[in-house]
Structure 1
Amino acid sequence: MTRARFQTFDDPGHRAGAARIAALRSVLAAQGLDGFVVPRADEHQSEYVPPGAERLAWLTGFTGSAGTAVILSKIAALVVDGRYTLQAPAQVDTAVITPVQLAETNVEAWIGANLEAGQVLGYDPWLHTPDGVARLERAAHKAGGILRAVAANPVDAVWRERPGAPAGAVVPHPLDLAGEPTAEKIARLRVALAKAECAALVISDPHNLAWAFNLRGADVAHTPLALGYALLPCEGRPTLFLASPDIAPELRAALAPLADLRPKADFDAALDGIAKGRKIRLDAATAAIALKVRIEAAGGTPETGPDPITALKAVKNDAEIAGTRAAHLRDGVAVVRFLAWLDGADTLTEIAAVEALEDFRAEGGLLRDVSFPTISGSGPNGAIVHYRVSHETDRRVEAGELFLIDSGAQYADGTTDITRTVAVGAPTDLMRDRFTRVLKGHIAIARAVFPKGTTGAQIDGFARAALWEAGLDFDHGTGHGVGAFLSVHEGPQRIAKTGTVPLEAGMILSNEPGYYRAGEYGIRLENLVLVGPRDIPGAERPILGFETLTLAPFDRRLIVPELLGPAERAWIDAYHARVRDTLGPYLDAPTRAWLADATAPLASPPISPSA
């Protein structure tokens, strides 16, 4: 029987953008609005959202995980970051909506420059945080306009076939994988609430809800979330308000001594009841302004700040780390089998590569989903940082090209994310130079040691130095946090120019510098790393460093050994030896022989390029 796949390759349908935007403008005019803000968000401000919240993709055709459209009566813009420089213009109808780079202007600046005096700009109060609305309001007022909340999202009025609310199964996350009982997590959270002098916490982030109550769901593609909210009082029983009625009996039994379970429809009334006369903590990152307004209307005092769960969740315990290691071992076997298969493929398309890699992962066991839609880019498509292959864009991988594949998996015991760039046929000298510079940046992060308290922003430049020396750079962060069988993009930690959170032992991040030559190829090399203590003789303060978790070879055919220093060559040889020794026992003889060649020391001649 054919296994159902976790990914589809349907065209996003950007050709319908003109008609859909025209229909939206008609609805806006009937409601007395001159414009509307359409973020890529749901009511929890999540990166991955249920189908019915994909308003931005439906309206514009843009399928990226971050972006905001502003639709005015005569003009419209889609504001995206550097990851989508090439993707956004390729997906949207640029005759009706103009892609704008965040490096050039932000949403608020565009509104300030284009909203006319007296015009009314609408927004959905469930899709914006209080801070976000404050910025929009300042921009609208600066232009002489008015910002107005809407009771119902006008995009929904024209999206006639909008999917309904998800109702996936909600199940317990086993204690041997979670590593800490729910009761102990609640106790730690109450200590944090008491310090903040708050009577209760509104848990609006489904990731945090999943972690705090040791549950997992299936309401969102590629991330095991159960959508909903929770009210956690300093005293008394917490209450979970889940969107899905499909709650496993085992979870009900596990939560019965600790918390109440109620339908999501009961949440508003419960919030009114707990808020009156009390100070209620709202998560600044995920709580919609609609929650703030409701608490105020109920006579409560909303306090917007960090949800303490976010920081606790970022530091993995021993069980979560052990699960992550097991997931990476399983994933490494699948990826090596895929790379060996790739090297022997006579003909290859981008979609065929995605399907093959997913199949290899499924054969290893415990696969629950992919952790994001696989980025499978050959030649010029590899230069699109978050390229998503469709039946329309699928192309054959040709000799003389680079092939970039960025993929990950959700296993029952951990989340993975890996990118490899491989040569198909003989690479050019320039390709090898650029690849090696990216590799140098990757190694610099992998080998980095730093004092406790160091932020991701302070080490981000390590990944870029070799590129900067050649007048090059890349327009995305170097690393993002990763969850434990949760989101592949997890904060608050990150390695980026904007990474202001100190890195702590137990945090997992990606290490993924890149280089993109528009219209020709892209290069990205990604492993996941674990922050841990380092014992340095004579050190005068606590020192941390990274342990690489991901296990898969880099393409030696693309490495210029002369561009690497002795320590860098030693690192790559030691890493390849570890990959070979760790994965070899789990591979069949032909794949093991391929891996032996792929991980030979740099002094050895590389294997022949794939045809």
Structure 2
Amino acid sequence: MFEAKFQTFSDASAPALGTARLKLLRAELERRGLDGFIVPRADAHQNEYVPPSAERLAWLTGFTGSAGVALVLRDEAAIVVDGRYTLQAADQVDTASFEVVPLAETSPERWLEKHLPAGARFGFDPWLVTVDGEEKLRRAVTAAEGTLVALDGNPLDAVWVDRPAEPLAPIVLRDPALAGEDAAIKIARVQQALAEQKLDALVISDPHGVAWTFNIRGGDVAFTPLPLSWAIVPKEGRPTLFVDGRKLSNATRDALSAIAEIADPTLLERGVELVAGKGATVRLDKATAPAILAARIEAAGGKVSSGPSPVALMQASKNEAELAGMRSAHVRDGAALARFLRWFDAEAPKGGLTEIDVVCALETFRRETGALKDVSFPSISGAGPNGAIVHYRVTEATNRRVGMDELFLIDSGAQYEDGTTDVTRTLAVGTPTPEMRDRFTRVLKGHIAIARAVFPLGTSGAQLDPFARQFLWAAGLDFDHGTGHGVGAYLSVHEGPARISKLGTVALARGMVLSNEPGYYKTGAYGIRLENLEIVVDGPAVEGAERTLLAFETLTLAPFDRRVIEPSLLTPDETAWIDAYHARVNAEIGPLVDAATRAWLDAATAPLGG
């Protein structure tokens, strides 16, 4: 019955093959007179998801995680990964050839300082390392008494003989009814921001920013409708969009040519040099701009202003058309979720389901809406102890059967043309223990505290983050991830710059969409996470208020599992919030589902009191 675009991450590059490739790379480095080289898991835009042609780290080492870096020297090599991937890297990488180094123990730069021989020439690809990244590398190599060398051409690409071609997915124009603002107006807003910040030009190196500014979407990477592209926006005059012309139909080219010059990406370096002439100050996004662009600006006599792109904040605050699309997408997604949750309730207790079965089923229910473009990230489908692995990604090797009297965590999302979704529910299979109910309810109380928060304009995510943790803290518990991240409008499910976390310094503003996802994880036993998306909206009118107030509107429409709620831990206000939320879910989703699902939904959203 079910099918899905399910990705298993097998050992396509087995350890022996990885060892052979390491030998090839070392030979190429020796040919170029280099003693070492860095291989980050990155493309030229520092995207979260990269095309197959940029999966250099996976090709070399066999490691398929979404973050990591390999350091290759003449006689030794290491792969540095964060805590999410320590076990995965040990399984996928030939540990006789690569030392697996946990990031918590040492950084790539620290490893280099310790292992790089004095006098060594250490190379890097300046397209794959940011300005800040280059500076960190330079300090490390200098401390080791070596020389850092920016390379013209990636030596790994020279030995990757079957490297996939660069993606050429067609670029499409965003429906004006969904974009809500003409690209020409957006460009004018960006240029006004440049003038206010005394900048002469901006290089948009983040394809999400390009997509938003020019009202375009593409399909060059998985999970996010990105057109890999660049743009230069001068303070005055027409911007230039750097994109492979093979991605443009005649109609799309004509529409974009009305607001911008169109150039091939191979001309980006020359374009940067031209705009930097005569001492111009050019803003580079410090999070995504490759170091080579800074070098070209300085070589042309310009000044580099490294900082956040002004596009990021504009993009984060959605306009009314974008918010209407997000609401519509979440209603549609909620109906698919209701069908899935009823199916899971019926099938899980039979004992035949696996984690992969659950992923396939949910993706199929979403596909049956007729509107699904893609999933917005690889679904996290964790049964029992696998649910306690925060960023768990099921594979054929780890696929666990759903067992009785345990919790199941499903974190998933969808890309629809009108909006992006991300939702997590923790479900009981059989009878949850009193401890499970206690922890679930504490997480739910934190979720409600965020959803009900009223806060002054200018409040940051870091200031709100404790709201979600207070009930866990009271029991000596916590969770080790942020409470929420930004979400794009048919763009990235992980969008900056705002977030609700201990590190969230950006003030929340009207129109931002953020996740609300506190959790609790008991290693080896179970995981709990409850996630809805929220819109930042105007707060309630308060008599005598001296500050402008903001609040949240909940977008996601899916019931919480009432069987894992411990009502005695809830206040009357919290109980009322849950009952009101469930009544809303039933009212908005009920008319969209079949009779069997409607009957299930009636029971799943019944008031907690009975």
Instruction: Indicate yes or no: 2:58 matched with 1:57.
Output: yes
Q: Contact 1:533/1:543 (CA < 8 Å) preserved in 2?
A: yes
SS in 1 for 2:283: strand
Secondary structure of 2:57's aligned partner = helix
Calculate percent identity across the aligned residue pairs: 60
Equivalent residue number for residue 333 of structure 1: 335
Q: Tell me which residue corresponds to 2:550.
A: 544
| Residue identity in the other structure for 2:237 | G
Q: Distance in 2 between matches of 1:85 and 1:434?
A: 27
The alignment status of 1:560 with 2:566, answered yes or no, reads yes
| 2:394 matches 1:389 | yes
Distance (whole Å) between structure 1 residues aligned to residue 400 and residue 26 of structure 2: 36
Q: How does 1:570-609 map to 2 (within 5 A)?
A: 570-604=576-610
Could you list the per-position Cα deviations for residues 332-357 of structure 1 after superposition, in whole angstroms to 9, with x for gaps in the alignment? Answer: 11111111111111321111211111
After TM superposition, the structure 1 = structure 2 runs for residues 60-99 of structure 1, keeping only pairs within 5 Å, are 60-84=61-85, 87-99=88-100
1:87-137 Cα deviation digits (max 9, x unpaired): 544544445444444444433333334434333332211111111211221
Alignment-mate amino acid for residue 256 of structure 1: S
Aligned equivalents of 1:154, 1:520: Cα separation in 2: 45
Following TM superposition, by how much is the alpha carbon of 1:430 offset from its aligned partner in structure 2, in angstroms?
Answer: 2.3
Change (3 A) 1:97 1:450: farther
State the match for 2:290 in structure 1.
Answer: 288
- 1:32 deviates by 3.6
Counterparts of 1:338 and 1:382, CA distance in 2: 18
CA contact (8 A) 2:172 2:218 kept: yes
Partner of 1:607: none
* Aligned positions of 1:150-549 closer than 5 A: 150-243=151-244, 245-277=246-278, 278-345=280-347, 346=350, 347-535=352-540, 536-549=542-555
Q: Would you say the 8 A contact 1:169–1:244 is kept in 2?
A: no
State the alpha-carbon separation in 2 of the partners of residues 96 and 253 from structure 1.
52
Aligned letter for 1:548? T
Distance across 1 between alignment mates of 2:136 and 2:319: 37
The 5-angstrom pairing of residues 102-141 of structure 1 reads 102-141=103-142
Distance 1:113 1:187, change over 3 A: same
Output the CA distance in 1 between the equivalents of 2:89 and 2:500. Answer: 24
1:136-175 deviation digits (Å, cap 9, x = unpaired): 2122222333322222223323433221100001010011
Q: By how many angstroms is 1:56 displaced? A: 2.2
Structure 1, 93-102 or 126-135: larger mean CA deviation = 93-102
Structure 2: gaps of 5 or more residues = none
Q: Distance in 2 between matches of 1:440 and 1:101?
A: 34
Report the CA distance shift for 1:87/1:436 in structure 2 as closer, same or farther (over 3 A).
Answer: farther
CA contact (8 A) 2:137 2:148 kept: yes
Alignment-mate amino acid for residue 568 of structure 2? E
Query: How many Å apart are 1:284 and its aligned residue?
Result: 1.5
Give the deviation of 1:561 after TM superposition.
1.7
SS at match of 1:282: strand
SS of alignment partner, residue 275 of structure 2: helix
Unaligned runs of 5+ residues in structure 1 are: 605-611
In structure 2, the CA distance between the partners of 1:150 and 1:266, relative to structure 1 (3 Å rule), is closer
CA distance in 1, matches of 2:471, 2:75: 45
Distance 1:169 1:3 in 2: 29
CA contact (8 A) 1:168 1:244 kept: no
Question: How far did 1:86 drift?
Answer: 5.2
Relative to structure 1, is the Cα distance of residues 423 and 97 closer, same or farther in structure 2, using a 3 angstrom cutoff?
Answer: farther
Contact 2:71 2:79 in 1 (8 A): yes
> AA paired with 2:601?
L
Whether the aligned pair in 1 keeps the contact of 2:444 and 2:530 (CA below 8 Å) is yes
Q: CA 1:139 to 1:423, structure 2 compared with 1: closer, same or farther past 3 Å?
A: same
- What is the aligned residue count? 603
CA contact (8 A) 1:87 1:386 kept: no
Could you tell me whether the CA contact under 8 Å between 1:349 and 1:396 is conserved in 2? yes
Mapped partners of 1:437, 1:342: distance in 2: 24
User: What amino acid does structure 2 have at the position aligned with 1:7?
Assistant: F
CA-atom RMSD in angstroms: 2.2
Residue range with higher mean Cα deviation, 361-370 or 156-165? 156-165
Does the aligned pair in 1 maintain the 2:233–2:240 contact within 8 Å?
Answer: yes
TM-score w.r.t. the length of structure 2 is: 0.93
Following superposition, the deviation at residue 19 of structure 1 comes to 4.2
For normalisation by structure 1, the TM-score amounts to 0.93
Paired with 1:200 and 1:568, the residues of 2 have a C-alpha distance of 50
| CA displacement at 1:205 relative to structure 2 | 1.0
Larger mean Cα displacement after TM superposition, 455-464 or 81-90:
81-90
Q: Counterpart of 1:190 in structure 2: which amino acid? A: Q
Residue 415 (structure 1) shift: 0.5
Kept after mapping to 2: 8 A contact 1:580/1:596: yes
1:13 Cα deviation from its structure 2 partner:
3.8
Deviates more, 1:532-541 or 1:96-105: 96-105
Mapped contact 1:215–1:251 kept (Cα < 8 A): no
Q: What is the CA distance between 1:25 and its match in structure 2?
A: 3.7
State the alpha-carbon separation in 1 of the partners of residues 208 and 428 from structure 2. Answer: 38
**In 2: Cα distance, 1:262 partner to 1:582 partner:** 47
Shift of residue 403 of structure 1? 1.5
Amino acid at match of 1:594: W
CA distance in 2, matches of 1:440, 1:5: 34
SS in 1 for 2:231: strand
Q: Give 3-state SS (helix, strand or coil) of 1:545's partner.
A: strand
Question: Alpha-carbon deviation of 1:549?
Answer: 0.5
Secondary structure of the structure 1 residue equivalent to 2:477: coil
CA shift in 2, pair 1:518/1:35, >3 Å:
farther
Q: How far apart are residue 302 of structure 1 and its match?
A: 2.6
How far has the Cα of 1:236 moved from its partner?
2.3
CA–CA distance in structure 2, aligned partners of residues 291 and 4 of structure 1: 44
> Secondary structure of the residue that 2:65 maps to in structure 1?
coil
